[in-house]
Amino acid sequence: MFNFMDGINGITGIYSLAVLSGLFLINHNEHLVHEDLILFLGISLLIFGYYNFRKKALFFAGDIGSITIGVFIFFIGVLFAIKLSSPLMLLLVIVYGADTGCTFLYRKLYTNESVFDPHRHHMYQKLVDVKKLSHLKVSVAYALVQLLMNVVLYKTYQLTLQTQVFILLGVISFFMLTYLLLFHKLKIKS
């Protein structure tokens, strides 16, 4: 997922920092992993961001960088979900997850393209290509929405399992509906 979403300047770095902030907050309360593990990745992302979060990026994460970040976040997220018995930990990557999942479904159900071929169907690509928004504005928007989801997660991850599942299904439905509406609106303008 992180590799698929690494397509515009700044998005991998700033989005990953947003995800790490949620991990750090929860870990600060729960003490599941050593805080340095999260902090050191955050510091490396800040350094990477210095060279990538600009109009003309000097460094790129590439396959190795984005996959490494994704695996790290996956590992910590799954660990937190298991240790805390909280399926809501999926909200830590809901923005990327919704974009990737909906794009995959769109390609599988509505196009004849192979899902393995390069494409420009992700929402962030549509926002840059069709709406002509800058890479950095789209990257910040994705990170801000993720930060909002971190707040929702932080306030709800200790609720009963039934309540968490209800919240998770509601949030996933909201993101899918939002994706469909935005995609339809951007498709009409293209």
Per-residue model confidence as pLDDT tens digits over 60-82: 888 888 999 999 999 999 999 99
Per-residue model confidence as pLDDT tens digits over 103-156: 888 888 888 788 778 888 888 888 998 899 999 999 999 999 999 999 999 999
| Beta carbons within 10 angstroms of residue 170's beta carbon | 10
- What is the residue range of 96's domain? 2-189
Considering only CA atoms, which of 11, 3, 6, 48 is closest in space to residue 135? 11
User: What domain count does the chain have?
Assistant: 1
CB 14 within 8 A of CB 140: yes
Q: What is the pTM of this model?
A: 0.92
